[in-house]
Copies of this chain bind each other. A is one copy, B any other.
């Protein structure tokens, strides 16, 4: 699967921003204007690509017929608003009434061993939701979850089958457990993060020598988020 071009990322960013502001998606021309594309057909072309990659769905011959896949967007760090689509924000009282709970989408599996891509099929419809109380993990903003596959983090007491909850962020401190996207390899993996000069070392936590650290130039590693919680369900 092809990776996102910079242009496509801009398009996604803009659609999110626009939709959040107006409650309806932009037209092809509105996208082109903002992203700096003079031709409507080019926008159309890229939208088709984005649909192929499941970042959004389109309805043919329908104006503004876009529907974002926000779950998939979270994967690549395109953040959207968290709360309601009300153009007039809910009052404080209403917020209280609703309660401070939030759901976290379990986007798919992340291989902590042999790195594989987060399964795009499951990304459309998260396999599950984890519901937590605010305050438990601090802010409810920008959280998502992944199901761990493999044993590479076993020394960190993260087992195969565990669910890790991550806060979406682009950076992290040395020694923190992160989910990272490795450009070129086109893979997402769960590892400890260490910086080493211009490089980034993604360190597994398993004494088995099969699990080797992955060292890549910093600019080719994009951090998806930092692990803030680990959840295990026994059977």
Partner-B contacts on A (CB < 8 A):
19, 22-25, 27, 56-57, 59, 62-72, 74, 80, 82-91, 94, 97-98, 101, 103, 105, 124-126, 128-133, 136-137, 154, 157-159, 176-177, 227-234
Q: Are A103 and B133 neighbours in the complex by a CB distance under 8 Å?
A: yes
Q: Are A130 and B125 neighbours in the complex by a CB distance under 8 Å?
A: no
Q: Are B234 and A231 neighbours in the complex by a CB distance under 8 Å?
A: no
B residues near A129, Cβ cutoff 8 Å: 94, 97-98, 133
- Cβ 8 A contact of A228, one of B74, B88, B124, B233: B233
Copies in the complex: 2
Q: Bound state CA distance, A88 and B57, in angstroms? A: 9
- Cβ 8 A contact of A27, one of B63, B68, B154: B63
Q: Are B24 and A64 neighbours in the complex by a CB distance under 8 Å?
A: yes
Q: Are A23 and B22 neighbours in the complex by a CB distance under 8 Å?
A: no
- Name the residue in A27, A66, A85, A130 with the highest tally of chain B Cβ atoms < 10 Å from its Cβ: A85
A131/B101 contact (C-beta < 8 A), A94-B74, A232-B230, A233-B136 known: yes
Q: Are A87 and B101 neighbours in the complex by a CB distance under 8 Å?
A: no
Q: Bound state CA distance, A133 and B104, in angstroms? A: 11
User: What is the chain B residue whose CB lies nearest that of A159?
Assistant: B157
Q: Bound state CA distance, A63 and B22, in angstroms? A: 12
